Amino acid sequence: MDFGSFLDRLKALGIKASEEDARAAFGQAKHLALIGKKLAKGKVDAA
C-alpha cells in the first residue's frame, strides 16, 4: 500500500490527521507489518 491509499483510508474512516501525523502513522504501520511477517516466519523471538 502506498501513502496515498493509506491517506484515502484514513479519510474514509473519518480520521482527520495532519500530513505529518499521517506519514508517521504510515511508517509505523509498515514497520509493524514487517515485524508481523518475521514473526509468522519464526525469525523473531516473540518475547
Write down the pLDDT at residue 46. 59
3-state secondary structure 1-47: CCHHHHHHHHHHCCCCCCHHHHHHHHHHHHHHHHHHHHHHCCCCCCC
The pTM of the full predicted model, rounded to 2 decimals, is: 0.68
**Please, what are the averages of pLDDT over each run of 10 residues along the chain (47 residues)?**
91 93 94 91 71
Write down the pLDDT at residue 47. 58
The grid coordinates listed for 27 are 511508517
